[in-house]
Structure formats: structure tokens, C-alpha cells
Amino acid sequence: MAYGNDWLVNGAPPFARFAIDNVAGARTHFTAPSMDDLVAELKSAFWVSLLGPGYDATLWRSALHKAFRAAGPKKRNLVHSRLNALRRFRNRVAHHEPIFSNAMQMHTECLEAVSWMCADTCAWAKHHSRFPAVHAAP
């Protein structure tokens, strides 16, 4: 691992203030948080921010690009754009906003993004997803 197993808290990654504040906020929910606790507690905005242009020369090139090579190399801006769109869609769902116009497209794009990380996980998700059938139902 490029920045160590405790990379969220060891000060090695060149985090911007937004990321530092998010990690600090996540830590307050635990007495002695494990890395797993922090990973689970951090919001999607944190994770998507790590794929932004401010981290291209640092986190992306040194480490993060490796997580998105299952379906061939991907450009950082494509990964960031896709995951940010999924984050925004998820927020619309969470706030009970209308999503009907592009729900199927977002489902497809979500599965594609999963395939960038792991083909087996993508196949599992496709097999178990009820969304296409529910979406097509009258």
C-alpha cells in the first residue's frame, strides 16, 4: 500500500483540508476507531473527492489508479465524473427527489463503474439486481 495500512490517519497522503476535516469528523464517532470503522463512516463525498483533479499528480498516479484497472486502465477524470454522478444520484434518492428519467441509465453506469474495480463483483451485482425487472414492471 503506497501510504501505509493506516493511510487515513498517518499523515502520509497529501490530503486537502476537506479530507482532513472529514477524517477527523469520522473519528469522533468512535473511541478507538479501526481503519475499517473509518472507511465505513466516511461519506461518499470524501471518497469521490480523492478522485478529483487536486489529487491527480499525487494519490491518483501513485495509488488510486490501481483500484480501477479491472476492465483496463481508466483516466482519472472519467472515474471521478462517473462516481460523482452516482454520488449525486444517490443523494437525490436519499432526499426523495424524482429520479425516473434516468434511473435505468444510472443503474447501468453503476454496474459499469463496479466492473472497473472487480469483474466478479459486477457479475454478482448484475445477477442479484432486481432493478431492471422492477423498473420495467407496469
H helical segments located in 30-130: 35-41, 44-49, 61-62, 76-94, 103-117, 119-128
CB 23 within 8 A of CB 15: yes
Q: Kindly list the domain boundaries of the chain, sorted by start residue.
A: 1-42, 51-136
pLDDT score at 99? 86
Q: What is this structure's pTM?
A: 0.90
pLDDT category of residue 101 using cuts at 50, 70 and 90 = confident
Tally Cβ neighbours within 10 Å of residue 36.
8
Asked if the model's pLDDT at residue 30 lies above 80, the reply is yes
Q: How far apart are CA 45 and CA 132, in angstroms?
A: 27
> How confident is the model over 36-87, as pLDDT tens digits?
999 999 999 999 999 999 999 999 999 999 999 999 999 999 999 999 999 9
